[in-house]
Amino acid sequence: MKRRRRMESPYTQSFSTYKGEFNATLLQTNAMLFSDIFEIEVEFGWTSPDYAKSNAAFLKIKFFIENLMHQSIITHPSAKVNLSHIENKIVMLPHPPANDIIAMVLHSKLNTIVGEYIQVLTVKVGSKGIDPVISYTHADDTYPALPTLKEWVKSDDYYFDAPWWGRNSTHTQDFEVNEETDLTNIPKPDTILEDLEKAILGELKIEKPGGEVVEISDWKPEIIKD
C-alpha cells in the first residue's frame, strides 16, 4: 500500500514530537490474551500556515491515541474470538499485534485524519511488556506489511476505497461483505473528529441540559506560536 509523497514545504524543515502512551489488550496467536502498555512518539511537520486548523489536526492525533487506542482490544482475523459483545474499541490488524504492524497502521491512519495541515513523518511504537524493550519506528510512505483493500476485505466491491487505516474516520476495523450486501447502505462513522475540529474553530453548538442550544461561533482558541 502506497501513500502520498511527503510534501515539499518550508513548514516541514523543522518538526515537532508528540509523546504519549496507551494501554491495550492484545489477542495473539492461539487466542492468547496479553495486557500491554505502549509508548508512542509521533514526529510531524506543520504543513499549513492556518494555525487553527493545524492545531485541530494535532488534537486529532492526540485524541486518536489517548481516547481510541487507549483501553482498546488489538486483534487480527486469525484470532477466532467472538468480540461482538465487547464494548471496548476493537482495532483489527492484518497480522498478530506487534510493534511494527501497529506503527505502520498508525502512520497511515494519522496521516489520513490530519489532512493537509500536518505531515506525520515518523511513528515510533515501543511495548513496555517486552524484555528487552525494543521499539519500532516507521518513517516511510509505503507499508509493505499492509494488504490492499481487495486483499483485506476479500471482495472486489466495498463501501469504501481504502481499508480503515487509510480512511479519515474513527474506524479501526472493517465490515464483512458478501454478494447479498447492500453497498449503497454505507456504515456511518461517528462525527467525533469533525466535532473536534469545529470546536477548535468555534463553529460547534453546545447543547445545555434541558435542550437549549448555545452558539459558540464567536469563540476562537488562542493559539500560541513559538
Per-residue pLDDT tens digits for 204-217: 655 555 555 444 44
Q: What is the DSSP letter of 137?
A: E
pLDDT mean across residues, the chain: 86
Long-range Cβ contact pairs of 58-61 (< 8 A, separation 24 or more): 58/16, 58/18, 58/114, 58/118, 59/196, 59/200, 60/113, 60/114, 60/193, 60/196, 60/197, 61/18, 61/110, 61/113, 61/114, 61/118, 61/120
pLDDT at 142 over 50: yes
pLDDT of residue 216: 40
Using a cut of 0.75, tell me whether the model's pTM lies above it: yes
132 pLDDT above the threshold of 70: yes
Task: Give pLDDT tens digits for 41-61.
Answer: 999 999 999 999 999 999 999
- What's the pLDDT at 125? 97
7-24 per-position pLDDT tens digit: 444 444 679 999 999 999
CATH superfamily, with its number, for domain 10-186: 6-pyruvoyl tetrahydropterin synthase/QueD (3.30.479.10)
